[in-house]
A and B are shown apart, each in its own frame.
Chain A
Amino acid sequence: MRGAQSIRQGQARAGWLFVLPTLVLLGLFLAVPVLMALWVSFTDWNGRGSPFASGIGFVGPDNYRELVGKDGGLTRSDFMTSLRNNFYYVLLVVPLQTAFALFLALVLNQRMLKAVGFFRTAFYFPSVVSSVAISLVFLFLFSGGGVVNSMLDAIGVDGPTWFNDSRGLLHLAGDGLGLWNASEPPSALADGGMLGLTWWQWLAGPSVALSVIIMLVVWTTTGTFMLMFMAALQDLPLDVEEAARIDGAGRWGVFRNVTLPHLRPTMLLVTTLGLIGTWQVFDQVYVMTQGGPGKTTLTPAFLSYSYALENQKWGVAAAMAFILFLIIFAMASLQRWIFRDKDALELKRQERRTTKARAAAGSAA
């Protein structure tokens, strides 16, 4: 008994030794920076010297209050504007990129298609090109006298000056439908508001400039997610599909009842990765618009960067990062809950019930 235990102890020690490098690295490059940032978000550190030096003032939740509190001024309205922009961005990018990726994967998964390799490469190509390079190309494509406007011109449409156009799409749509006059917003929306923005501002929708970024991101990320869907589709055994066909399912029926359920884990992965990535959008904003025009492409990640590095407001910037983390965490959890496998849960519950019933029957007997 004693001998066996000491052998196990040796194993434990060896185990610790093996994970130690990882623990140290994770601690040093993940846990420590996160904890430091958390500390900074509760101080008025101005970027000079160590944030743990004795002269640094602990300000409690003041930085957070400035961002979401009742009396927040410009900082709060900047932050809320960035959350609004990013919300519309996520709302459009995630469904669009998922739908396109699934569509392309289904097309490429057809056994009849020729030159699959070519198409796969072509669709995946935007994902492997640097986002900065693609952003620059888009700057030229969408400049006022650029290719896109020339093409629109050819079919008689007067294109907007994309990156200088801060008008919101919902405002424009309402204007087009005659719901309101965008230059004179209805007072019901323009007078009231919440958290530093009026209802009218909240309901702006993505601006024309932001929609260019949305197009760009959908185009570049679709390829990656397409690969994930393709991998999952290739896992789907052919016989299952054939069996469904023989049972009388049509094309749509097979897709709806066989393919889609099979893709659920991949769907969860794709939407979760998409959600996290889109809430953290930075590169494109940094390269193309720097938050303009009219702050309509400001995102929390970019705002945090600019408050910290350009304005030495490190505490507020760190607080933004943590609020963004909470938002992402909450939305990702919600997504997991929505995508949970209800059948499997039900099955487990039944099993448990049977075991309990059996045990009860056993003890009764």
Chain B
Amino acid sequence: MLSSSRRRQASLAALALTSSLALAACGGGGFEEEGGSDPASSGDGPAELQVLIGSSGDAETQAVEEAAQAWAEESGNEVEVIVANDIAQQLSQGFAGGNPPDLFYVDAGVFGDYAEAGNLYPYLDQMADADDFYPNLVDSFTLDDQAYCAPKDFSTLALQINTEAWKKAGLTDADVPTTWDELETVAQQLTTPDQAGLVLGLGRDRVGAFLVQNGGFWVDGEAGEATATEPTNAEALEYVQGLLDSGSAVLAPDVDAGWGGEAFGTQKAAMTIEGNWIRGAMENDYPDVDYTVAELPEGPAGKGTLLFTQCWGIAADSPNQEAAVSLVEAMTTAEQQLTNAEAFGVMPSRESAQADYVEQFPQDAPFIAGGDYGQGPVNLPGLGPVVADLDSQLEQLKTADVNDILESFQQNAEAELK
């Protein structure tokens, strides 16, 4: 009896010993340096850069790889482009392990969390022609007045109109809505028993555009404050709620669609508000549907749309920051961005490329116009669950009390930001 319990004690002790040894091994590398304003790190001799991208497909992978190899040959460095399966998870592993990829995509929505944690190396001020990026895009990658990384490209929301339904309703080019009232009118005119006038995708990333058009937004990124309870926001949500209530607008799930583009492509709705990614979806899945694109109508406070963007993040723990900055410069020249635009349909993040882009893709003029007045996503650190909760509440926008939604967002965001 005694010996068996002693043996058990011994084995427990052995287990504890091995565990604590391993724990000590894990605790080895501490990283206490701050990313802040350190000069860029660079090793001796040519660098070997690891680039992690969340690719939209083969076209994008190939374009990035070609550009990277061209840079490598010219600069005498080596580059390895890795396509992520799950970029959030792969980056997390790299950050925790202290060996993240040198260069990687960072979405504006998660930028705040990464920057706050000190994972990103701020390098934008070292870049040539950094002023040429759209200021609204740079704002999306700015935390506490520090601009971190170079915007890779961007997308905006615009209004898509089904040509056939438009004609059938007796509308002409002159009727393309430019104000909220006109949008309401044409949505009503376009609504038939089997087709809604306007379909909206779920969540803050669509409805938010109306807030911007009314001069508000969920948060003030610069001040780092939640501003949801400003009366302008409630007015904007009430306007959308009115559209939904009257039946001239629907949410995508109401017509059994996963997103606005699907409802628009299957002609369950005559108009939708989506970004320039809809072009590829329409070409591939609904090639027979003719449509035109217009800028979003102006609200009481003027034009407004939402921007979606990613930047080239450089790891704070990367030993090759200098080389990485040089690669980013090569990746974001106006010429390279126009090549990318042709290869996989993204819009250049440099203002100097705008004119060439419009010339090459005239049908995208309404999208790229949004670069001047668009608003980036909520990018304050720590707000992930709060905006997820907002999205979940906006599912019930048709019946919910808009003030309740805004107040609960305000309260949750304030608790997180204090």
Contacts and interface: CB of A to CB of B under 8 A. Distances in A.
B95 A294 contact: no
A27 B95 contact: no
B95 A53 contact: no
B385 A28 contact: no
Contacts of A292: 392, 395
A47 B392 contact: no
Interface string A104-119: 0000000000000000
B101 to A, nearest CB: 14
Interface string A222-238: 00000000000000000
Contacts of B416: 74
Contacts of B28: 50
Interface in B385-418: 385-386, 388-389, 392, 395-396, 399, 411-412, 415-416
B319 interface: no
Contact of B18 (A23, A52, A291): A23
B54 interface: no
Given A74-B385, A74-B412, A53 B113 contact: no
Contact of B117 (A46, A52, A73, A144): A46
B415 A74 contact: yes
Contacts of B412: 73-74
Nearest to A311: B384
A274 B271 CA distance: 48
Contact of A293 (B14, B95, B384, B395): B395
B1 interface: no
B96 A32 contact: no
Contacts of A16: 14
Q: Which of B11, B118, B256, B382 has the most CB of A within 10 A?
A: B256
Contact of B253 (A48, A50, A161, A309): A161
Nearest to A312: B113
A31 interface: yes
B289 interface: no
A271 interface: no
Nearest to B118: A48
Contact of A52 (B23, B386, B415): B23
Given A48-B119, A54-B32, A73 B415 contact: yes
A294 B18 CA distance: 45
A67 to B, nearest CB: 12
Contacts of B95: 47-49
Nearest to A56: B30
B37 interface: no
A183 B412 CA distance: 25
A310 interface: yes
Interface in A1-52: 16, 19, 23-24, 26-28, 31-32, 35-36, 46-52
A32 B95 CA distance: 20
Contacts of B5: none
Contacts of A293: 253, 392, 395
B89 interface: yes
A202 to B, nearest CB: 17
Given A47-B92, A74-B386, A294 B392 contact: yes
Given A48-B31, A74-B415, A310-B88, A36 B110 contact: no
A32 B26 contact: yes
12 contacts: A23-B11, A24-B18, A31-B15, A47-B117, A47-B119, A48-B118, A51-B96, A52-B23, A55-B30, A75-B385, A143-B256, A310-B88
Interface of A: 16, 19, 23-24, 26-28, 31-32, 35-36, 46-55, 73-75, 78, 143-145, 161, 164, 166, 183, 291-295, 306-313
Given A48-B119, A50-B31, 7 more contacts: A16-B14, A28-B22, A48-B95, A52-B26, A74-B389, A144-B256, A294-B395
